[in-house]
């Protein structure tokens, strides 16, 4: 993307559909490669790259300097990868929903009995503070 013709970028900014199509097509390999380095999964990388190219297509006219195209695209990709990672983390439960096994329950009861026995051996004033 760094060697894209400034004339091509300016033409795309002024609504030249052919220039914009060429710009998107020329940017695609670099955008995909960068997305693969940032996103957690190949699927997220492909989706982030597509999102970046869609934003490029829709908002190229808002770009102030033609030299900022590469950093603008990379920022879009980074933000999209972060958004996808946050979504995955938000959707995952913090505590597993599985019930404890019989072995886990037996170990928990043994530990509870050991703690209760240790507390019973404490002097009355320490036991009352702890309880």
d(CA 3, CA 97) in angstroms, rounded, equals 52
User: Long-range contacts made by residues 25-28, C-beta under 8 angstroms, separation at least 24?
Assistant: 26/1, 27/1, 27/53, 27/56, 27/73, 28/53
**pTM value?**
0.58
Task: Tell me the C-alpha to C-alpha distance, in Å, between residue 25 and each of 1, 46, 102.
Answer: 10, 15, 59
d(CA 73, CA 28) in angstroms, rounded, equals 11
User: Which of 5-9, 43-47, 127-131 is predicted most confidently?
Assistant: 43-47
Interacting residues of 24 by C-beta distance below 8 A, sequence separation 6+: 53, 56, 57
122 DSSP assignment: S
Instruction: Please write the tens of the pLDDT for every residue from 18-53.
Output: 988 888 888 888 889 989 998 888 998 899 888 888
- What burial letters (b/e) apply to 40-68, b meaning 16+ CB within 10 Å? eeeebbebbbebbbebbeeebeebeebee
pLDDT at 2: 46
Instruction: Please write the tens of the pLDDT for every residue from 76-128.
Output: 888 988 888 888 777 776 566 677 788 888 888 888 888 888 888 888 888 77
């Amino acid at each position: 993307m760094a060697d894209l013709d400034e004339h091509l970028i300016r033409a795309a900014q002024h609504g030249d559909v052919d220039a914009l199509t060429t710009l998107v097509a020329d940017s695609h390999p670099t955008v995909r490669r960068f997305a693969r380095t940032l996103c957690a999964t190949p699927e997220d990388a492909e989706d982030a790259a597509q999102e970046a190219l869609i934003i490029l297509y829709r908002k190229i006219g808002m770009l102030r300097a033609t030299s900022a195209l590469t950093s603008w695209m990379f920022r879009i990709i980074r933000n999209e990868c972060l958004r996808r990672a946050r979504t995955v983390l938000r959707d995952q439960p913090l505590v597993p929903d599985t019930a404890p096994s019989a072995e886990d329950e037996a170990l928990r009861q043994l530990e509870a009995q050991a703690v209760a026995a240790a507390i019973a051996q404490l002097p009355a004033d320490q036991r009352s503070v702890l309880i």
